Structure 1
Amino acid sequence: MSVTSTTGAPAAEPGGTTLGDHVLGQLLRLCAVAGLADADTATYGQVLLDSLGDTALRPLSLPPLSPSFISDDHTPVEFSLALTPDAAPVLRMLVEPGFAAADMDGSGRVGLSVIRDMAGRWDFSTAQLDALEDLFFPAAAEGPLALWYALELRPGGVPGVKVYLNPSAGGAGHCSRTVREALRRLGHRDAYAALPDGAGHPFLALDLGSWTTPRVKVYVTHPRLSAADARAMSRTVPGLAADQVETFFHLAAGTAPPLGPGAEEETRLLRRPALSCHAFTDSGTGAPSGFTLHIPVRDYVRDDEEALARATALLTHFGMDASVLSRALTALTPRGLDEGVGLIAYLALAHQRNRQPRITAYLSSEAYAVRPPLSLPQRAGAGRA
């Protein structure tokens, strides 16, 4: 299989590993874990290199040109594996195409150009994204990102495309107003009222291209989340059973349920906050059709060995093949799992109406740095309310 850069930039210094070398190698090995054909793997590898542009040829001996907040070490690429019972794993890659731009305005322009090139290549409409351009790409845009994209890497070389936008681009004080207006423009006038309370909206996401039922997704940040809080957040009907949400929370976060019936103490996540995601497909009701709970497991374990043990327990409980995740971690890095923390960044439980629940593990590239193991003063860094 041959995957080469098309940027025309000069090669990196002899013997120096580049950003492109690193993330492309990871992608090729992960595609093998996911069972993708060589031709599809080559297609997706080329898309990744093209998205990174000249920065794909930048040696890793140099720091990143700018801090991408996709990952803790500022690598502008993240991978994920979504698993369901009795089905092949689904591999995704998340990329910030404009991460090397001088400012958010430039980053947004690069990101939009990349998505429109994809639309021409794979023949899909960008009408929904175009309708939101003035909201999410204002002059002097603010925030940690302008546009990220995720590709669901499917057999046949035509991926599902997702675009992640920053609701605080026009200023943090306008975040809620921006989300409300975006939902209104996309035909979900009553959707905002269905969202749970939280501390803000880090992302609004759109499904573009080949999806059976394209979604609009709104993310909510939840500091100090407890299992009881999480159980009450889903507005999807029919939705996940409450005990499924609680079990996922406790297994992913390493927390314990209250000590007995009527107990007042509830374990809460006191480090990096959890996220919920609410998907909308039906503009007639305003009710979400999907719900996802994201636990930032990397802040509630000592190292990745413990994170893998958590993930294995979760996958086994929900009837999924846990061995694929172990193989994926081996594909990402040769380092020992006890030598760092953050290779598994998030664990998520997702449910779309009329579909089986799935577990997704979000996997860091660690191109620039490995976060050292944590020293947690108390179990899982959690506390009692």
Structure 2
Amino acid sequence: MAGSATVASIARREALFSTPDSSYVDFVLDKWTTVCGGLGIASSAVLDDVKSVMSPWGDRAIGEHCNCPSYVSRDGFPIEFSISWRQGVPEIRILFESLGDEPTPAACQQAGRDLTRALVAKPGVSIDRYDLVEDLFVTDDPRPYRPTVWHSLAWRPGSFPHYKVYFNPQVRGVANTGDVVAEAMGRLGLAEAWEPVGEEYEQLSSRGHVIDFFALDLRKDDNARVKVYFRHPDVDLSELDRIASLARHHDSARAHQTYRAVYGDAVTTANEPMTCLAFRRGVPEPEQANVYLRLPGNAETDGDAARRVADVMRSEGLDPESYLDTVSALAPLPVDETAGMHELLSFRTRADGAADLGVYFRFSVYDRALEGHV
């Protein structure tokens, strides 16, 4: 299978979207409308919500150069789109880092904190759990190229948008990550559920598995989740499945079919896949696991990535036609001439029925990647 250097030589990856004069919010609304159109969904219901969460920084021009690089995307662009299918119903999402008044991590962190508190005016939003742990994850001197306080907006037709907040669990240093997460889980009433993971954390860390993000659903209901994201080194597929197997509803046999769809006959993974463990009150262990398989470096082009995703969808009983229509509508060039718009394929098995699948898109607008970014 072609490596990332080969991909770069045959397909365009950087600066796919030339939009220096567009504002962030206009760019996002255009892509949101395109995704909804491809999926056959009316987009107007939540456009005002999208605008409001990007205020006031969304009115700035994207520009030709990345003045405030974000860890959200390889080129520093602070926004990522995704589509997930749960029980066959699509959900559209944006993940973003709020930009501050100054191009610094500290200003972005403050902008994220301010947005969290502004979200309490939205239907169904609660920040009670956020308030319990915020002090663990903010700092007077946040590091560049790490999460500050990020958010996502997720919407399914017929419902209000749901919001999630993301933190940097390495904020007190990588060596203290496990302690920070354990303290947060205790404050959130999830110490028992974290225990089986915490018991293995030291060994997992010694094998290169790093906790990269910590996230909360900003919801009032009992189904609100806490999510812990591990980033993995290049490992064999059994090692990749090790953390996911800690979850109650993970099906390793079905997951391996998806691993093979992305990695083919490769013995090891590539480009640092991720696993997210989801926790809920009343469940004494991780309830579900999302495995995120990185497509650049494994699929040669976006066309190749789309075909692999479509095969996985069919294997789970999902019709991929609307997804393929969406990809064609989003791509600025024929999909066999681009690489990297498809970033991740996520896979999560449920207690019954088809797996939940997700596809993550990154819209490269700048002409180079951040140094050291995947």
CA-CA distance at 1:361 after TM superposition: 0.5
Match of residue 135 from structure 1: 136
Structure 1 residues 191 and 75, CA, compared in 2 at 3 Å: closer, same or farther? same
Residue 217 of structure 1, aligned match among 211, 222, 227: 227
1:1-385, aligned counterparts within 5 Å? 16-47=21-52, 49-50=54-55, 53-60=56-63, 62-84=64-86, 87-98=88-99, 101-142=102-143, 144-156=146-158, 158-195=160-197, 197-198=204-205, 199-209=209-219, 213-233=223-243, 234-237=245-248, 239-255=249-265, 267-269=267-269, 271-283=270-282, 285=284, 287-353=285-351, 356-369=354-367
Query: Is 2:328–2:334's contact at 8 Å kept on the other side of the alignment?
Result: no
Equivalenced residues, count: 340
2:234 and 2:321 map into 1 onto residues whose CA distance is 32
1:121 and 1:274 map into 2 onto residues whose CA distance is 33
Q: Which amino acid aligns with 1:190?
A: E
1:30 and 1:141 map into 2 onto residues whose CA distance is 34
CA-CA distance at 1:255 after TM superposition: 3.1
Structure 1 residues 274 and 38, CA, compared in 2 at 3 Å: closer, same or farther? closer
Match of residue 260 from structure 1: none
CA-CA distance at 1:355 after TM superposition: 6.4
Query: Is 2:316–2:354's contact at 8 Å kept on the other side of the alignment?
Result: no
After superposition, the C-alpha distances for 1:188-218 in whole angstroms (9 at most, x for unaligned) are 1133332362421100110112656111111
After superposition, the C-alpha distances for 1:269-311 in whole angstroms (9 at most, x for unaligned) are 2x421111111113562x0111111111112122111111111
CA-CA distance at 1:56 after TM superposition: 3.2
2:320 and 2:168 map into 1 onto residues whose CA distance is 33
Structure 1 residues 203 and 353, CA, compared in 2 at 3 Å: closer, same or farther? farther
Over the residues paired in the alignment, what is the CA RMSD in angstroms?
Answer: 2.4
Q: Which amino acid aligns with 2:306?
A: L
Query: Is 2:25–2:59's contact at 8 Å kept on the other side of the alignment?
Result: yes
Q: Percent identity?
A: 23
Structure 1 residues 59 and 344, CA, compared in 2 at 3 Å: closer, same or farther? closer
Structure 1 residues 235 and 113, CA, compared in 2 at 3 Å: closer, same or farther? same
Structure 1 residues 355 and 293, CA, compared in 2 at 3 Å: closer, same or farther? same
Structure 1: which 5+ residue stretches go unaligned? 1-14, 257-266, 372-385
CA-CA distance at 1:225 after TM superposition: 2.4
Match of residue 375 from structure 1: none
Structure 1 residues 49 and 35, CA, compared in 2 at 3 Å: closer, same or farther? farther
Q: Which SS does the other structure have where 1:214 is aligned?
A: coil
Compare 309-318 and 30-39 and name the one that shifted more: 30-39
Match of residue 4 from structure 1: none
Q: Which SS does the other structure have where 1:190 is aligned?
A: helix
1:354 and 1:119 map into 2 onto residues whose CA distance is 34
Query: Is 2:84–2:356's contact at 8 Å kept on the other side of the alignment?
Result: yes
Structure 1 residues 55 and 92, CA, compared in 2 at 3 Å: closer, same or farther? closer
1:298 and 1:137 map into 2 onto residues whose CA distance is 31
Query: Is 2:227–2:279's contact at 8 Å kept on the other side of the alignment?
Result: yes
Q: Which SS does the other structure have where 1:209 is aligned?
A: coil
Structure 1 residues 67 and 100, CA, compared in 2 at 3 Å: closer, same or farther? farther
Query: Is 2:100–2:107's contact at 8 Å kept on the other side of the alignment?
Result: no
Query: Is 1:340–1:370's contact at 8 Å kept on the other side of the alignment?
Result: no
CA-CA distance at 1:322 after TM superposition: 1.2
Greater radius of gyration (CA): 1
The two structures have a TM-score, normalised by structure 2, of 0.83
Query: Is 1:122–1:158's contact at 8 Å kept on the other side of the alignment?
Result: yes
Structure 1 residues 119 and 331, CA, compared in 2 at 3 Å: closer, same or farther? farther
CA-CA distance at 1:31 after TM superposition: 2.3
Structure 2: which 5+ residue stretches go unaligned? 1-19, 370-374
Match of residue 382 from structure 1: none
Structure 1 residues 355 and 116, CA, compared in 2 at 3 Å: closer, same or farther? farther
Q: Which amino acid aligns with 1:31?
A: C
CA-CA distance at 1:250 after TM superposition: 0.8
